[in-house]
Chains A and B, each alone.
Chain A
Amino acid sequence: MSRQASRGTESKKMSSELFTLTYGALVTQLCKDYENDEDVNKQLDKILPSAFLPRGYNIGVRLIEDFLARSNVGRCHDFRETADVIAKVAFKMYLGITPSITNWSPAGDEFSLILENNPLVDFVELPDNHSSLIYSNLLCGVLRGALEMVQMAVEAKFVQDTLKGDGVTEIRMRFIRRIEDNLPAGEE
């Protein structure tokens, strides 16, 4: 019985490793495919809707449905509430960590997520010739894609990264605008 139980937790841990290892393999492949790191970052985040295929953004667009269906979280009324849900519910659910929220701008439209340990970088060491690579940039795409589906245009970017020698990993989130519902002509 006890063996069974330990297997269970181990399998959860491994499935997390499967994700981080797979992501690592993907980044490695993209580094091979694109000569310079800037292009890799663009691919990981999909800054522009190019013909080439998106990643984090696309994941976010679909992940939000899974999240809303499983978490029972309703609509957020302000950006602070959004920040709470992202850090305490979403990150916990998908990556098993709870980032802390700091550095609110006075207007309340910007905040930082501080990740103590980023599970994406578990087995990673950045070689010198890839020092400008934003390894976990996928996360920014996920955040942006997911929030866009709940009518919030945001900007997400890494400002600190432990892979580059910073003490913590910090994602800066900026609220740009609320996306209005496009009602079909004739309705309301």
Chain B
Amino acid sequence: MADSVLFEFLHQEMVAEFGDHDPDPSTPGGQRVNLSILESLGFRVGQALGERLPQDTLVFREELDVLKFLCKDLWVAAFRKQMDGLRTNHQGTYVLQDNSFPLLLPMASGLQYREEAAKFLAFPCGILRGSLHTLGFRSSVTASVAALPACKFQVVIQKP
């Protein structure tokens, strides 16, 4: 069993490696392009987790079950805590709230480093999107931070 500190440090190294290097700063939305590498790494990891986790958990009947699975099982497996809140408009948009996200927890409590937080959320966004992909849902996932260490992940399920 690998200690969670290892993952945290590895993740920080990945943020340092891929969070800054900008292939072409002149493109509009360059920041977004930057984080796409981290997001795609997360996606790959999420795909595998989505495959390995639900083995004996449950049969997913509905979209909401899948989202509940992300909030409970996946989050516990990855970050050793459950999501603190799940809200939905019942039209395919979900907001997953984590009031003390472990990857942001050591950084600050309040507004300091809020600008940097986005880099640390690209990978977990990818994890969520990757798991959903494995479970049969196309989605887009974005994250926002009002004040550290709380953050919100917005999941929009794309209808076929």
Contact = CB atoms under 8 A, between A and B. Distances in A.
Given A15-B77, A26-B41, A95 B53 contact: no
Contact of A11 (B7, B41, B48, B80): B80
Most buried by B among A17, A18, A59: A18
Interface string A59-74: 1001100100000000
B124 to A, nearest CB: 11
A48 to B, nearest CB: 16
B13 A93 contact: no
A108 interface: no
Interface stretch (A50-58, A125-133, A163-171): A50-58
Interface in B25-56: 37, 40-42, 44-45, 48-49, 52-53
Contact of B76 (A7, A23, A53): A7
B24 interface: no
A10 B2 contact: no
B63 to A, nearest CB: 23
B54 to A, nearest CB: 11
Contact of B3 (A7, A53, A62, A93): A93
B70 to A, nearest CB: 14
Nearest to A95: B2
B17 interface: yes
B13 A53 contact: yes
Kindly state the interface size class of chain B when it binds its partner: 20 to 34
A19 B41 contact: no
A119 B11 CA distance: 17
B13 A18 contact: no
B53 A119 contact: no
Contacts of B1: 12-13, 15-16, 95-96, 119
A20 interface: yes
Given A14-B77, A96-B1, A96-B2, A26 B48 contact: no
Contacts of B17: 53, 55
Contact of A66 (B5, B37, B44, B48): B5
A148 to B, nearest CB: 16
B9 A59 contact: yes
A7 B74 CA distance: 12
A23 B44 contact: no
A94 B78 contact: no
A18 B52 contact: no
A21 B13 contact: no
3 residue pairs, one from A and one from B, having the closest CB atoms: A14-B77, A16-B2, A19-B2
25 contacts: A11-B80, A14-B49, A14-B53, A15-B80, A16-B1, A16-B2, A17-B77, A18-B2, A18-B45, A18-B49, A18-B77, A21-B44, A21-B49, A22-B10, A22-B11, A26-B14, A58-B9, A58-B16, A59-B6, A59-B9, A94-B2, A94-B5, A94-B6, A96-B2, A123-B48
Interface of A: 7, 10-23, 25-26, 28-29, 53-55, 58-59, 62-63, 66, 93-96, 119, 123, 138
